[in-house]
Amino acid sequence: MITKEFDTITAISTPLGEGAIGIVRISGSDALAIAQKIFKGKDLTQVASHTLNYGHILDAEKDEILDEVMVGVMRAPKTFTREDIIEINTHGGVAVTNEILQLILRQGARMAEPGEFTKRAFLNGRVDLTQAEAVMDIIRAKTDKAMNIAVKQLDGSLKDLIDNTRQEILNTLAQVEVNIDYPEYDDVEEMTTALMREKTEEFQTLLENLLRTAKRGKILREGLSTAIIGRPNVGKSSLLNNLLREDKAIVTDIAGTTRDVIEEYVNIKGVPLKLVDTAGIRETDDVVEKIGVERSKKALNEADLVLLVLNASEPLTEQDRTLLELSKDSNRIILLNKTDLPEQIKAHELPADVIRISVLENQNIDQIEDRINQLFFDNAGIVEQDATYLSNARHISLIEKAVQSLQAVNEGLELGMPVDLLQVDMTRTWEILGEITGDAAPDELITQLFSQFCLGK
């Protein structure tokens, strides 16, 4: 793989703010020369690759030392971008990292665009698009299971599967061409049709099995939007605080305390839930609370999962019945709270699958996870160790299009269409799969994808 020649770019690769370390990264053919101009210490052009070197960053124009640093030197091609890379490890303050960044820019480097380091890794053949997108998935992962899926994708599990499938499609197309151009048997048309049918079914089964992983993969990547609903003062905010293990929501005995929608992420045994604690849904004359109630109804309609909280210590009210009706068609878990108090609610008025909990005494909260597994993972467990998961919406959409192309091949076979016409749809499948890895992706798509990355990546 020949590395393409680009200009030299730089950016801060750590979050801005106070911290032990801040990293300013430089990548490109002039990275070493630029670093040497501002570094007081060893000659960086002579040190071994992949070493850390102690010294100081010096602003020669002001004759001023900016910081005591460790400079990482990584020479091409064994780097992330397959270019020379310098990483300046500074003390992690906003001022010092920005000063060093500005000094590097004055030496001739250009400010990197969002995701440009990873884009160069892609353009230089270091990673494909699935691996590049996995980098951002690792950064954004909210649970260990989401991170593990992203790490597998970064290692190339999806890339290998797609590449192997594309190669098999090419082999099939080549075999069909040979049969058509050099017929050795009288029944060549029948043999070619049988080959096309067998291979089409094989590819379709593989891709459909991959699509079946999309539901749980997307949940683990993006989380479940979860609305906690119930009439005022049934314990919604207490449940939110219990799941978060901290007091994010105000909890009082006064009905209507939650006036708006509170959103937080929580990890329930590897499944990220985007918890939405809603204002109690009820008729009210309070203008502010009324806005909160309307937002709660909107959150209910948009939620992937609804946690409906009822008060076990009080009889079922009309508001409770309304909420039971409103949420009946959703993925719903009914939680009967305050079971530590004498139970006043009538069991026969409720569905049989309610979970009796006491947020105050932390009873049966773990049963919520079991029910989530039933609703979204078909009791099959959350993640299979060796499975390749689809979690990216772009990948899912392209796999669906590839399956449609294969279905068109099957339909053509059923109608008795000539094999050479069916090759068009088979070739289209090959092209669509190439868009996933970037082998057949348009430049506009690549630019749009990397623009979503953070600046120093």
Q: In the numeric block, which tokens belong to residue 29? A: 């053919």
User: Residues of CATH 3.30.1360.120 domain(s) within the chain?
Assistant: 9-128
The class of domain 140-213+390-438 in CATH terms is: mainly alpha
9-128 CATH, one of 3.40.630.30, 3.30.1360.120, 3.40.50.150, 3.40.50.720: 3.30.1360.120
User: Residues of CATH 1.20.120.430 domain(s) within the chain?
Assistant: 140-213+390-438
Give Cβ neighbours of residue 140 (< 8 Å, ≥ 6 apart).
none
Go through 153-167 and write b for each residue having 16 or more CB atoms within 10 A of its CB, e for each that does not.
bbebbbbebbbebbe
User: Order of strands, edge to edge, in the sheet holding 355-356?
Assistant: 262-268, 271-277, 224-229, 305-311, 332-337, 355-356
CA quadruple 37, 41, 45, 47: dihedral, nearest 10:
-160
> Would you call 421 exposed, middle or buried from its count of C-beta atoms within 10 A (0-12, 13-18, 19+)?
exposed
Distance of alpha carbon 397 from alpha carbon 9, whole angstroms: 33
Distance of alpha carbon 236 from alpha carbon 332, whole angstroms: 15
Q: In the numeric block, which tokens belong to residue 115? A: 């995701």
How is domain 228-377 classified at the CATH fold level? Rossmann fold (3.40.50)
Give Cβ neighbours of residue 79 (< 8 Å, ≥ 6 apart).
27, 85
pTM comes to: 0.67
Give Cβ neighbours of residue 438 (< 8 Å, ≥ 6 apart).
122, 128, 129, 130, 132, 446
Distance of alpha carbon 77 from alpha carbon 121, whole angstroms: 11
Coil/strand/helix, residue 385? coil
What is the pLDDT, as a whole number, of residue 249? 36
Helices (H), 327-392: 367-377
Mind listing the pLDDT tens digit of every residue in the chain (457 residues)? 445 568 999 999 998 778 889 999 999 999 999 999 999 999 999 999 999 999 999 998 888 999 999 999 999 999 999 999 999 999 988 899 999 999 999 999 999 998 899 999 999 989 988 888 888 888 777 777 777 778 887 888 889 999 999 999 988 888 887 766 665 555 556 767 888 899 999 999 999 988 887 777 777 777 788 888 888 888 887 888 887 765 443 333 333 333 344 567 777 767 778 877 655 444 545 444 455 456 656 667 778 888 899 998 999 988 888 888 888 888 889 999 998 899 888 888 888 889 999 988 888 888 887 888 778 776 555 555 555 777 788 889 999 999 999 999 999 988 888 887 888 899 999 999 999 988 876 777 677 777 777 767 6
